[in-house]
Amino acid sequence: MGTDIPNDEPIVLFDGVCNLCHGFVQFIVPRDTEGQFYFASLQSAVGQQLLADHGLEDHDLESVVLIEGDDTYVKSAAVIRIAQLLGGVYRLLGPSRYLPRRLRDRVYDFVAAHRYRVFGQKEQCMMPTGTVRERFLE
C-alpha cells in the first residue's frame, strides 16, 4: 500500500469496517479509469492525520470525506464531487448540488445511521489487492 500522500490527487476517506462504504470504494475503483483517486480508511493513522491537516479532527466516522487539494467535501457534497470527477453518466448527479445541503445531508445521515444494520460491518478494514493496492494509503 502507498505511503506517500499525494498532494494533487483526490483522496477518499471512508469507514473501513462498513460494508456499504467498502462497496462504495469498490464502485469507484473500476470506474476510475484514470486512477486519480487514492483511498484511506477514516480509522487509519493516515486518515486521522489527513482529517487533522484539514481541520476535521473531530469528524465522526459516519461520513465519507473527499480531500481534493485544499478543498474538503463531506457527506453528500463528497458523493456528488466524486461523481463529477468520475465523469460520464455519473456527472448527472452534479446538479443535485443545488439542492439545499441540509436536505441532502438529512438523507445521507439517515443512510449512515442505518448502514451497519442494513449492510453489516467487517471485523477489520478491507485489504486491497492487485494494482489498486498502491492507491490505498497506509
Instruction: Determine the 3-state secondary structure of 122 from DSSP.
Output: coil
pLDDT mean values, one per 10 residues, the chain (138 residues): 72 83 86 92 90 83 86 92 91 81 85 71 57 76
Burial 100-120 (b: 16+ CB within 10 A, else e): eeeebbeebeeebeebeeeee
Comparing CA positions, the residue from 35, 11, 40, 30 lying closest to residue 125 is 40
97 CB neighbour count, 10 Å cutoff: 15
User: What pLDDT, on the 0 to 100 scale, is given for residue 82?
Assistant: 95
User: What pLDDT, on the 0 to 100 scale, is given for residue 61?
Assistant: 63
The Cα-based distances of 21 to 55, 76, 98, 100, 137 in angstroms read 22, 13, 24, 24, 16
Pairwise CA distance, residues 49 & 47, whole Å: 5
User: What pLDDT, on the 0 to 100 scale, is given for residue 39?
Assistant: 94
User: What pLDDT, on the 0 to 100 scale, is given for residue 125?
Assistant: 53
Pairwise CA distance, residues 38 & 48, whole Å: 15
pTM of the predicted structure, to 2 decimals: 0.82
In the block, which residue shows the cell 494494482? 131
User: What pLDDT, on the 0 to 100 scale, is given for residue 129?
Assistant: 56
User: What pLDDT, on the 0 to 100 scale, is given for residue 121?
Assistant: 59
In the block, which residue shows the cell 458523493? 79
